[in-house]
Amino acid sequence: MGGQRSVSDAGGVNEPRILIVGLGLIGGSLAAGLKASGYKGKIAACDRDPAEIEQGVALGVIDEGGTELAALVPGSSLIVLAVPVLAMEPVMAELAPLIEDQVVTDVGSTKLAIHQAAERVFGRLPPRFVLGHPIAGSEKSGVAASNPSLYRRHKVILTPQSDTDPEAVARVRALWQACGAQVLEMDVARHDQVLARTSHLPHLLAFSLVDTLARQDERLDIFRYAAGGFRDFTRIAGSDPVMWRDIFTANREAVLEALDDFEVGVARLRQAVTDGDGDAMLGIFDRASHARHYFDTLLNQTRYQAMEQRNVRYRVSPGGSVLGTIRVPGDKSISHRSIMLGALSEGVTQVQGFLEGEDSLATLQAFREMGVVIEGPHQGRVTIHGVGMHGLKKPAGPLYVGNAGTAMRLFAGLLAGQAFDTELTGDASLTKRPMGRVADPLRQMGAVIETAEGGRPPLKIKGGQALMGIDYDMPMASAQVKSCLLLAGMYAQGETRVREPAPTRDHTERMLNGFGYPVNREGAVAMLQGGGRLTAAPIDVPSDISSATFFLVAAAITPGADLTLEHVGINPTRVGVINILKAMGADLELSDEREVGGEPVANVRVRYAPLKGIEIPVDQVPLAIDEFPALFIAAANANGVTRLRGAEELRVKESDRLQSMADGLAILGVENKLYEDGIDIVGSGSDGPSYGGGHIDSHGDHRIAMAFTIAGLRASGNIVIDDCANVATSFPGFVDLARRVGLTLEEVSA
């Protein structure tokens, strides 16, 4: 009977017999993938073409099959409908009197039409019918094209309803996961809208283009001399015409809506070509080129829609040397601000040293979506064609800022003054971080902002509000809050004054002055008048001291080390790490100190010297807030106890960094005691290994991952660090640089 399930296998699928209805490429590849996963149950197939069944058995793709459902449904515990979309309803009608308690799922690329067909057949969507869609395929067809790897590292979208049986969903999820797929869930209507744009529309255009050219007199020459780009774009026009006719018919409304949007875009480009408007063409091409690159990055490193990171694992072998001269990537904080102020300025801003990490690219892409023409980045060079303070345009949808808390908080300030509504969203990690600290004072200025529960993202910002300057005392030292309010203050009537309880980084004030917008300072208060303007200015982004910190600490703890880091930003509000390392006894020397674009830079040389535990001065905490994960590793290698207090801000970073570091240090055998606002770390102070190896969870926090990577230099065993994909958000090239200076580091996808 359908409910008798006792077969379990290596793939995690616990079904005695699976029935696949429709033995084409999709159904055949599912069967082949299950076989390859080690599935030990039986796979049967039903297809109206007996030759396909015969070939499927001969190829070993299925165990048995036939052309009649009535003979195959009994004894099958899970049924997969893999027929064309318009054939689903008659198949369901034939299936309805035969099923008992079997789980049923489908592979159709439109979900609303299949949902409605099920309602017509069954009266409602049965609780054990799980609608699904694998995002994979080929222009080939038939069981002979079956590919056991077709679904590996591809997405499968399930669209369960509120009353769908959770056990049925779990069984369908296990089916696809056994084939190596990533399984996601989505609303039915949203699925059809998304697929209309990302799959159905491209197929429609490919069919149309090839058909248009094929009907022209010179078609033979056109196809004879077609280049690779034409072949790449039109490959999907070789797909099954009947299947795609059914898809376009079933998903007609969503496809037409997507086609309408596309026609508007084509008309816009046609007008630019007609007018010879090079700037308009450049804007369109540049936006498209970099959107393609940016979204390709997302697709390679995140899950579809949910944006949850794949697991990258670091394995660090004990020991190593730290020698040479390196330059780490540009400062992330300054890179963010260079794009923001360059976009809002009048004229063209040239940026050098731009950090090409995911966070900075997210900021860059967001401004492209608001109509700003941006060329690059090309080897750290970016050209921004400013639109002025009021030249931004309403984006088509939410602005996605990835993992960048800095970007979200600064965006909140500048978008509060725009005439249009916007929504800010980010990845799974960012949606857990508090945004009330910027939303609340912005509301005092007159902004209208909605947040999710607990003051967390997404942020929905209503445009067209009359902002008023305020005098705000920050309850906690935060450069992001200060910068947010100063950016909003540019759009406010009157003066905005922000008082900080302790010094924080002042990149925003320096850069605003550099762009000709006066920011004044009276003691702990930064202030500006609303209604000014920004004028384009060149920017040379210094190397990020936060990124440099991992190598400063690596050299400081490794006997025999001698490392020089070039062009490091030494802004007085960011040098807490240098001050703390010197207080611990590090042999650290600055040279070639100079100022570039209003920001002080220098070369920093570090040689090994024994470190001692210290009580970290409270006034240095805000100056080194992002550098503490690495400094905790320095403390673990120092002689005596290092004490930190007044650092509760570490609890609300990409992870709870106090807890994450304390847990990781304990795993390595480093004695520590955690407090609400700090930690005590007992260092070993020896020249040999300072602690053991172990398996660390970085909790998706790039700084935790990099801190425990450098810890390997003084470990007695391997350190394995999970969830390291986010390192690319702040430090692209970290692994290569770490190996270059002498660490033994392996990066693997787990």
| Global model pTM greater than 0.85 | no
Nearest to 52 by CA among 143, 146, 184, 147: 143
Tell whether 12 is in a known binding site.
no
Tell whether 722 is in a known binding site.
no
Encode pLDDT of 308-351 as tens digits. 345 789 999 999 999 999 999 999 889 999 999 999 999 999 99
Determine the pLDDT at residue 6: 40
Encode pLDDT of 172-204 as tens digits. 999 999 999 999 999 998 898 888 888 889 889
- With the C-alpha atoms ordered 602, 546, 580, 498, is the resulting torsion angle positive or negative? positive
The 10 Å Cβ neighbour count of residue 501 is 13
Distance from C-alpha of 146 to C-alpha of 238, rounded to nearest angstrom: 17
Determine the pLDDT at residue 217: 66
Is residue 432 predicted with pLDDT exceeding 50?
Answer: yes
Is residue 361 predicted with pLDDT exceeding 70?
Answer: yes
| Average pLDDT of span 279-292 | 78
Distance from C-alpha of 508 to C-alpha of 333, rounded to nearest angstrom: 9
Please, which residues bridge with residue 641 across strands?
A: 682
Determine the pLDDT at residue 305: 31
Structure tokens at 301: 């490193």
**How many percent of the chain have pLDDT more than 70?**
93
Measured torsion, CA atoms of residues 688, 691, 693, 698, in degrees rounded to the nearest 10: -130
Band (303; pLDDT cuts 50, 70, 90): very low
Structure tokens at 220: 């033979």
The mean pLDDT value of the chain amounts to 90
Domains along the chain? 17-186 (3.40.50.720), 193-276 (1.10.3660.10), 312-324+543-749 (3.65.10.10), 332-540 (3.65.10.10)
Among 226-230, 241-245, 454-458, 577-581, the range scoring the smallest mean pLDDT is 226-230
Tell whether 187 is in a known binding site.
no
Distance from C-alpha of 253 to C-alpha of 528, rounded to nearest angstrom: 51
Is residue 1 predicted with pLDDT exceeding 60?
Answer: no
| Average pLDDT of span 633-653 | 95
Determine the pLDDT at residue 3: 42
Tell whether 337 is in a known binding site.
yes
| Average pLDDT of span 645-656 | 90
Tell whether 305 is in a known binding site.
no
What SS3 state is found at 528? strand
Distance from C-alpha of 285 to C-alpha of 72, rounded to nearest angstrom: 54
Determine the pLDDT at residue 7: 41
Encode pLDDT of 72-101 as tens digits. 999 999 999 999 888 999 999 999 999 999
- With the C-alpha atoms ordered 20, 26, 31, 33, is the resulting torsion angle positive or negative? negative
Residues with a known catalytic role: 626
Among 291-295, 390-394, 406-410, 690-694, the range scoring the smallest mean pLDDT is 291-295
Determine the pLDDT at residue 194: 87
| Average pLDDT of span 159-181 | 94
Tell whether 585 is in a known binding site.
no
Exposure pattern of 685-699 as b/e (b: 16+ CB <10 Å)? eeeebbbebbebbbb
What size, in residues, is the chain?
750
Q: Report the greatest alpha carbon distance in the chain.
A: 86
Is residue 290 predicted with pLDDT exceeding 90?
Answer: no
- DSSP string across 421-436: -EEEE--TTGGGS--H
Determine the pLDDT at residue 638: 97
Band (2; pLDDT cuts 50, 70, 90): very low
